Amino acid sequence: MTLLDMPEATVVLQERFLSEVQALSLLDTLLEDIAWEQHRVRLFGREMPSPRLSAWHGDPEAVYRYSGFTHHPRPWTPHLLSVRAAVERAADTAFNSVLLNRYRDGQDAMGWHADDEPELGPEPVIASVSLGASRKMRFRHRTHREWVSDVALGNGSLLVMAGSTQRYWLHSVPRTRTVHDERINLTFRLIAPPRQERTLS
Ligand SMILES: O=C(O)CCC(=O)C(=O)O
Ligand SMILES: [Mn+2]
């Protein structure tokens, strides 16, 4: 386990969370089993197809709003439940949902963002399992913009972001010409139940 050297963040990488064989077999299963969709994202007021495929699974109440859209979860599958159990043990945290992202090759990517939606709470623990092709995740501090940190997310790795990471840092998965193979990433999250609407009488 490696604690990344990033001020005002807690990011831990476990490179061999799953064995190579386990990770590749899970990759194949998820490529088959998951109803992959191209979500739409709203960026600078413009709506466009997201540059990757995604799926949202979890407990029924784990409704998630991001990039201007609301996602209702599909139910857990047996494979997702068994990865969740292992991830919960490793991160010592309970999760009620998982966002799956599928990067078909190096042209699929994820832009700069933080996982800081209100329903995740102020200091969310986000646990991220990577399968298949290794891709670079890049972190950049929000105010000290010259502080950057790159981490290779290889097949079978687990990256846990906790504490103030989302408050002070952004992260992205840049496009690359050198990767031609599939990668799936699963980010486990704990979504707080929606707050009761208050009606004023
Ligand atoms: O693919 C990755 O490793 C990053 C995924 C991510 O940042 C997210 O789902 O919010
Ligand atoms: Mn993220």
Segment 124-174, tens digit of pLDDT = 999 999 999 999 999 999 999 999 999 999 999 999 999 999 999 999 999
Does 99 score more than 90 pLDDT? yes
Question: Tokens 């329903």 appear where?
Answer: 119
Contact at 8 Å (CB) between 181 and 132?
yes
Highest mean pLDDT among 53-67, 98-112, 185-199: 98-112
Output the pLDDT for position 199.
63
Question: If you average pLDDT over every residue of the chain, what do you get?
Answer: 94
Burial 64-74 (b: 16+ CB within 10 A, else e): bebeeeebebb
Lowest mean pLDDT segment, chosen from 8-17, 65-74, 119-128: 65-74
Domain boundary assignment for the chain = 2-189
> Are the CB atoms for 164 and 123 separated by under 8 Å?
yes
Confirm or reject: Cβ of 157 under 6 Å from ligand 1: no
How far apart CA 168 and CA 18 sit, in angstroms, is: 29
| 54 CB near ligand 1 (under 6 Å) | no
Non-local (6+) Cβ contacts of 97 within 8 A are: 56, 57, 58, 59, 62, 64, 73, 188, 189, 190, 191
Give the integer Cα–Cα distance in Å for 100 and 77.
Answer: 13
Among 131, 149, 153, 171, which is best to mutate for testing ligand 1, by the most ligand atoms less than 8 A from CB?
171
Q: In this structure, which residue's CA is closest to atom 3 in ligand 1? A: 185
CA 21 to chain centre: 22
- The CATH homologous superfamily to which domain 2-189 belongs is Alpha-ketoglutarate-dependent dioxygenase AlkB-like (2.60.120.590)
The alpha carbon of 197 and the centre of ligand 1 are apart by a number of angstroms equal to: 31
| pLDDT tens digits, one per residue of 6-24 | 999 999 999 999 999 999 9
Tell whether pTM > 0.75: yes
Distance between start and end Cα atoms, the chain: 54
Element (H, E) at 40: strand 40-43
